[in-house]
Structure formats: C-alpha cells, structure tokens
C-alpha cells in the first residue's frame, strides 16, 4: 500500500487543500444543529421573527459557504484522484514495458490488464472517498467519544466498553477482506484470460463447433468469480450488523448504569440523555465505517497486486538508456558454447552451441520441429539470457550491450507475424517513426509487398484489421519483413518468415536482400533457401549436428541428406507456392 500511496505525494498540496475544504464543510455541518436550536428556541418558541430571519440568513450563508467548500473540494479531490490514477497507470505501464520476456512468462497478459485498469480504479475510489467523506466518520466517532467523556466519564466508559472487541474484530475483518478481495481479483484475471483466449481463437472455436463447450468452460470461471465475490461480500457485510449490535448493547449498558447513577445521585438526567445522543450519532457514523473497511481492504488487495508489478526487481531491463558506449562493428555474431533452458522448465533447449557468423554473411539454420531454432534467434536480441556460455555481437557479449543499442542494430522478423491496429504505412514505419515515405516504399519494394499494397483500395492507407485479419499469411510475412528492413539493421533475423511465400516472390525477395549489407540469420525448412546461404547450421535436439556449406553438409551429414531427400522428388523441388 505504501508504494501505491506514494503516487499521491506529488499531489499532497491538493490533498491538503481538499481536506481543508472538507473540514470547512464539516464544521458548518457541526455548527448547523446549534443554529437550528437557536432558531427553534429563540425564534419559533419566542415568536421572534427577527431572530428567525437573522439566524436563518446566517444559516443560509453558512450553507452556501459549505456548498462552495464542497464544490471546491470535489473539484480538487477529483483532480488529485485522476492525476494519481494517471500517474500510477503510467508507472505500471512503464514498468511492464521494462519487463524481460522471462518476466512476461510470470505475469499473464490478462492479469496485467486487470492490474492496469480495475485495480487502479479500485484504489482511486478509496482515495476519492478518503478526500471527501472518509475522515468524517472517524472524526464524528472520536468527537462523540471525547464529548461523552467530558459529560460523564464513568458512563462514557460503558459506551466504549465494546471498543477493544471492535478493534480486534475490525482488524481481523480487514485482514480477511484483504485475502478475499485478492482472490476476487485473481478470479477476474481468469475471466479476462478466458475471454482473451476465446477472442484469439474465434475461428477455431467456430470451426470445431465448440461454442457451447467454451460457454461451459467460461461458466466455470464465471462461477468461481461469483462464488469468490459472494463469499467476500457476505463476510464483509457482517461488519455493520456486528458494529451496530455492539454499539446498541453498550447503549443499553449506559442506560442501565445511568439509571443506577441517577438513583445514587451521581449523574444528572441531562447527562445521560446527552451520552445517549452521542451514542446514537456514533452509531450513524459506524455504518460509514463498515463501508470504509470494505472499500479499504479491497483497495489494499488491489494495491498489493499493483505493487507486485511495481516492485518486481528481477527480470527488468533498461529501456531508453542512451549510453555513450556504443560497440562498433558491422554485425558479427558469435555463439560461444551456449546452453539454454527456459526459466519455467529444466529441459535444455540448446546445448553447447558454438558458431561465428562473419559480417555481411548469411547463415541458414535448419533442424527438426522443436530443435531450438527459434530459441536460438531469441537469444540474440536478448529476449532471454543464456544459461551457459555467451552470445557476442561485434565481439561484445550481449549482456554488456546497452539493450536499446543492441536491438537497434537487429531487425527481427518473427515466425508469427504480429501487426498492430493502424494503417499499413503506420505498421511499416512502426519500428522507426522518423522513416520517410520514400524509405517505407523502398523497404516495401524490397520485401516484395509494394505491388500488393498498390492494389489495395486505400493502398498505403489501408487499415490493418484486428491482428491483421484482412491480410493473407504471405502478405503479413512480407509486411513484417519490410517493417524490419525500414530500420536498416546490421543484423537481420528471419524466423521462417518466408514460409507462406511462393517461389518466385521468395526468389525476388532474396535477390533484393542481397543488396542489404546486413548479416543474416535465416531459420528455414527449405533446402533451396539454405543453399543460398554462406553457411548452414543444422540443429538436432538443441545441439549443433552439422555446420558448413550445402555441399559440405551433403557430404558429411546424414541428417542433412535426409532433409534434402525429403524435398526431392525426382528432379523437382517439392515446394510449390505458399
């Protein structure tokens, strides 16, 4: 909670001002009964119209002051709350952006979304309440207790006799609430996750006619959210009845012992009545108290979730450090005895991999499905850190590189084309917002997508639908390639990203890429593509099985020959088009 609250500190003056105005409002509210009493006693009862009008006007004036104070308080409080919300969202999002890919494995997308929206809102609500009404209840309670002690300490003692019990009870309840509401938020995560999954797989679900199956699965998570909510609120709603009961019983005690005191002459009737009045007022404030505790423990649960993100220490990478140190070179890549396993398992994906790619040359990486090809590429932009060995770019360990610089020299085209909402042009310039239109077109031409774009109704302004639904697989692949080329990378990493291209398009693409001086790492299934590379790295279950040129491997590697054979049918290459 502390960390989250610290985001309020820039607005401490606003908070203080809001509180001052709230106190003004509150004091008017406290004076009002006195004025009303005066109007009744001195005005109405005494049939004195002058007094009525005089005090009436004062009351109106004070009400107006309270009104103004209230309006100003509202204004300032909502400003503070919304600014706080903005700041904390910003901080959370920034922190999330600095997560390493490993950390992302720990926090599912859906959970991050909930933390950035619902959790923030829940804490905002509490702060807003705090600035407007929260202080009122405690002040009323404390004020009433003090007043009753002033009136008659002995009797007042009975009024607070339940206090220790209540304190323990409320403390216990807020602890329970924290746990219960934390559970509720986790259920919200799951609901969000289920919906996200369904949206992503909408075609699959429809194709397999699994609508009702999915609904049943969703009902399960929705039901557990319901149960968690019901449990949490049912327990928390105990607060008010219990508080009221304890207060009312204390009141009975006051009356009983008050009667006795009056009998012995230790107390006046008026004193007892006064204490009874204070007790009733306290009881009224208690209903607000119950409300506050529910909201507060909810907010606490939410802020703990936000703090989990904000205070995440491991798995953070620097973004945007403009380091003066910029390793120079022209794209040399070296893997030195690299082993790797994903943080979630112990199963090694890469074992003792070593190779060097000289600047400007092209390395093809081949291997069976699941042999570690994509993982190997992921180690270069340091999405993951090697478990053993080192990856060197331009002779410098990637761990020593400033991340931004490192990724600046790399152009990555992932296996699954990820496009963003926006126009084609925006997607092309996505990696370099300063790129000129000319540059974008040039990259599009190189990636062999220019002609296709020209044929779209809005050409470069054509909107890319949600996750690129309106584009074919090959078009998406070529767009991602163009997007990487716009940045003029020294190192180009292509993760099987020409799989959906037909032969002639692909040939043209490789031809166009020849002009690029970039060092290329190309994961591919196709012998034909591999043949065009300077060297071929063949992976087998994470190990380097063979390394060399096509001809060398045809000689030395039986696995490579097997792959080649699988693509040979008579004189023909097996692959035809997308």
Partner 1 sequence: MLNFIRKPFGYEPIVTKEDLKKSNKKKVEKASDWKGVLSRIWKLVDEQRFLLIIVLLLVVVSSALALLGPYLIGVIIDEYLTKSNFAGLAKIIGILVIVYVFLSVSMYLQSYWMIGISQQTIYRMRTGLFNKLQKLPVSFFDRRQHGELMSRMTNDIENVSQTLNSSFIQVFSSILTLVGTTAVMLLLSPLLTVITLTIVPFMYFAMRWITRRTSKLFKEQQQAVGELNGMIEETISGQRIVKAFSQESRMLEEFSVKSDRLKRTGFWALTYSGFIPKVMNLLNNASFTLVAAAGGILAYYNYVTIGEIVIFTEYARQFTRPLNDLANQFNTVLSAIAGAERVFTIMDEPEEVDAAIDNKDYKLIGDVTFENVTFRYNLEEESPIIQHVSFHVDAGKTAALVGATGAGKTTIMQLLARFYEVNDGRILIDGIPMDQLPRHTLRSQTAFVLQDPFLFEMTVKENIRYGKLNATDEEVINAAKEANAHDFIRKLPNGYDTILTADGGEISQGQKQLLSIARALVADPALLLLDEATSSIDTVTELKIQEALERLMEGRTSFVIAHRLNTVRKADLVFVMEGGKLVESGDQEELLKQKGLYYNMLTNAKI
Answer whether 480's CB lies under 8 Å from 493's CB. Answer: no
Q: Does 320 bind partner 1 (CB under 8 A)?
A: yes
Q: Does 212 bind partner 1 (CB under 8 A)?
A: yes
Interface map 506-525 toward partner 1 (x if CB under 8 A)? -------------------x
Q: Which strands, in side-by-side order, build the sheet including 388-393?
A: 348-357, 333-341, 388-393, 396-397
Interface residue with partner 1 among 8, 22, 132, 304 (CB under 8 A) is 132
Please, which residue, 94 or 517, has the CB nearer to partner 1? 94
Answer whether 545's CB lies under 8 Å from 371's CB. Answer: no
Min dist. Cβ of residue 395 to partner 1 (A)? 21
Please, which residue, 2 or 562, has the CB nearer to partner 1? 562
Please, which residue, 2 or 180, has the CB nearer to partner 1? 180
In this structure, what token pair is assigned to residue 276?
Answer: 């009874």
Interface residue with partner 1 among 81, 282, 364, 435 (CB under 8 A) is 81
Q: Does 20 bind partner 1 (CB under 8 A)?
A: no
Residue with tokens 């002779």: 395
List the interface residues with partner 1, window 23-62 (CB under 8 A): 32, 36, 39-40, 43-45, 47-49, 52-53, 56-57, 59-60
Beta-bridge partner residues of 519 = 491
DSSP-derived secondary structure letter, 467: G
Q: Does 457 bind partner 1 (CB under 8 A)?
A: yes
Total number of residues that touch partner 1 (CB under 8 A): 195
Backbone phi, psi, residue 339, to 5°: -125, 150
Min dist. Cβ of residue 385 to partner 1 (A)? 14
For residues 62 and 65, what is the distance between their CA atoms, to the nearest angstrom?
5
Sign of the Cα torsion 13, 16, 17, 18 reads: positive
Answer whether 437's CB lies under 8 Å from 426's CB. Answer: no
Choose one: 159-167, 266-274, 307-315, 356-364; the region binding partner 1 (CB under 8 A): 266-274
List the interface residues with partner 1, window 292-311 (CB under 8 A): none
List the interface residues with partner 1, window 321-350 (CB under 8 A): 342, 344-345, 347
* 541 phi-psi bin (left φ>0, alpha ψ -120 to 50, beta other): left
Backbone phi, psi, residue 350, to 5°: -125, 140
Q: Does 169 bind partner 1 (CB under 8 A)?
A: no
Min dist. Cβ of residue 388 to partner 1 (A)? 19
For the chain, give the number of residues: 578
Min dist. Cβ of residue 259 to partner 1 (A)? 5
Please, which residue, 2 or 545, has the CB nearer to partner 1? 545
List the interface residues with partner 1, window 406-445 (CB under 8 A): 407-408, 410, 412, 414-416, 418, 420-421, 430-433
Choose one: 134-142, 257-265, 332-340, 390-398; the region binding partner 1 (CB under 8 A): 257-265
DSSP-derived secondary structure letter, 327: -
In this structure, what token pair is assigned to residue 415?
Answer: 């296996």
Nearest CA among 311, 297, 320 for reference residue 7:
311
List the interface residues with partner 1, window 535-554 (CB under 8 A): none
Choose one: 141-149, 161-169, 369-377, 549-557; the region binding partner 1 (CB under 8 A): 369-377
Please, which residue, 47 or 313, has the CB nearer to partner 1? 47
For residues 417 and 439, what is the distance between their CA atoms, to the nearest angstrom?
21
Beta-bridge partner residues of 34 = none
Q: Does 252 bind partner 1 (CB under 8 A)?
A: yes
State CA 295 to chain mean position distance: 21
Beta-bridge partner residues of 463 = 423
Please, which residue, 163 or 249, has the CB nearer to partner 1? 249
Beta-bridge partner residues of 367 = 539
Interface map 464-503 toward partner 1 (x if CB under 8 A)? -xxx-xxxxxxx-xx----x---x--------x--xxxxx
In this structure, what token pair is assigned to residue 83?
Answer: 């600014």
Please, which residue, 193 or 441, has the CB nearer to partner 1? 193
Please, which residue, 2 or 265, has the CB nearer to partner 1? 265
Sign of the Cα torsion 243, 245, 246, 248 reads: positive
Q: Does 8 bind partner 1 (CB under 8 A)?
A: no
List the interface residues with partner 1, window 192-211 (CB under 8 A): 192-193, 195-211
List the interface residues with partner 1, window 96-125 (CB under 8 A): 96-99, 101, 104-105, 108-110, 112-114, 116-118, 121, 124
Nearest CA among 402, 430, 445 for reference residue 487:
430
Choose one: 87-95, 145-153, 301-309, 436-444; the region binding partner 1 (CB under 8 A): 87-95
In this structure, what token pair is assigned to residue 372?
Answer: 């570690």
Nearest CA among 141, 139, 148, 147 for reference residue 27:
139
């Amino acid at each position: 909670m502390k960390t989250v609250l610290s985001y309020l500190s820039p607005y401490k003056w606003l908070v203080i001002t809001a509180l001052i105005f709230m106190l003004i409002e509150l004091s008017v509210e406290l004076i009002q009964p006195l004025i009303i009493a005066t109007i009744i006693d001195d005005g109405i009862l005494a049939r004195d119209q002058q007094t009525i009008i005089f005090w009436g006007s004062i009351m109106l004036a004070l009400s107006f002051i309270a009104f103004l104070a209230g309006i100003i308080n509202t204004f300032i409080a909502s400003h503070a709350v919304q600014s706080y919300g903005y700041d904390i969202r910003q901080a959370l999002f920034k922190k999330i952006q600095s997560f390493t890919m490993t950390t992302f494995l720990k926090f599912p997308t859906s959970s991050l979304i909930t933390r950035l929206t619902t959790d923030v809102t829940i804490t905002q609500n509490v702060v807003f309440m705090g600035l407007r009404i929260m202080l009122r209840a405690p002040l009323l309670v404390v004020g009433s207790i003090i007043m009753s002690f002033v009136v008659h300490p002995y009797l007042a003692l009975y009024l607070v006799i339940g206090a220790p019990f209540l304190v323990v009870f409320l403390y216990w309840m807020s602890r329970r609430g924290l746990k219960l509401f934390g559970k509720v938020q986790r259920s919200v995560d799951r609901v969000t996750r289920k919906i996200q999954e369904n949206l992503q797989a909408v075609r699959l679900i429809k194709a397999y006619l699994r609508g009702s199956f999915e609904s049943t699965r969703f009902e399960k998570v929705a039901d557990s959210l319901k149960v968690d909510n019901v449990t949490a609120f049912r327990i928390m709603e105990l607060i008010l009845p219990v508080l009221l009961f304890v207060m009312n019983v204390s009141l009975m005690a006051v009356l009983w012992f008050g009667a006795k005191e009056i009998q012995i002459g230790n107390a006046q009737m008026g004193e007892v009545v006064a204490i009874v009045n204070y007790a009733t007022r306290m009881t009224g404030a208690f209903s607000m108290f119950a409300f506050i505790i529910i909201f507060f423990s909810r907010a606490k649960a939410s802020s703990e979730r936000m703090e989990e993100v904000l205070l995440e220490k491991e798995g953070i990478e620097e973004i945007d450090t403009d380091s003066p140190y910029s390793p120079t070179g022209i794209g040399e890549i070296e893997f030195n005895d690299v082993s790797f396993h994903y943080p979630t398992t112990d199963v090694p994906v890469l074992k003792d991999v070593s190779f060097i790619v000289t600047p400007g040359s092209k390395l093809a990486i081949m291997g069976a499905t699941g042999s570690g090809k994509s993982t190997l590429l992921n180690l270069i932009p340091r999405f993951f850190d090697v478990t053993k060995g080192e990856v060197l770019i331009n002779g410098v360990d990637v761990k020593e590189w400033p991340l931004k610089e490192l990724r600046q020299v790399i152009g990555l085209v992932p296996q699954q084309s990820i496009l963003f909402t926006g126009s084609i042009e925006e997607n092309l310039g996505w990696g370099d917002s300063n790129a000129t239109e000319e540059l974008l077109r040039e990259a599009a031409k190189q990636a062999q997508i220019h002609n296709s774009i020209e044929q779209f109704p809005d050409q470069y302004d054509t909107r890319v639908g949600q996750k690129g639904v309106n584009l074919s697989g090959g078009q998406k692949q070529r767009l991602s390639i163009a997007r990487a080329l716009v940045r003029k990378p020294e190192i180009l990493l292509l993760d099987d990203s020409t799989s959906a291209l037909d032969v002639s398009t692909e040939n043209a693409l490789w031809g166009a890429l020849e002009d690029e001086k970039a060092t290329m790492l190309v994961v591919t299934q196709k012998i034909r593509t591999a043949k065009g590379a300077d060297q071929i790295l063949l992976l087998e279950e994470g190990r380097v099985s063979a390394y060399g040129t096509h001809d060398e491997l045809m000689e030395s590697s039986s696995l490579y020959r097997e792959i080649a054979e699988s693509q040979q049918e008579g004189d023909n290459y097996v692959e035809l088009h997308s």
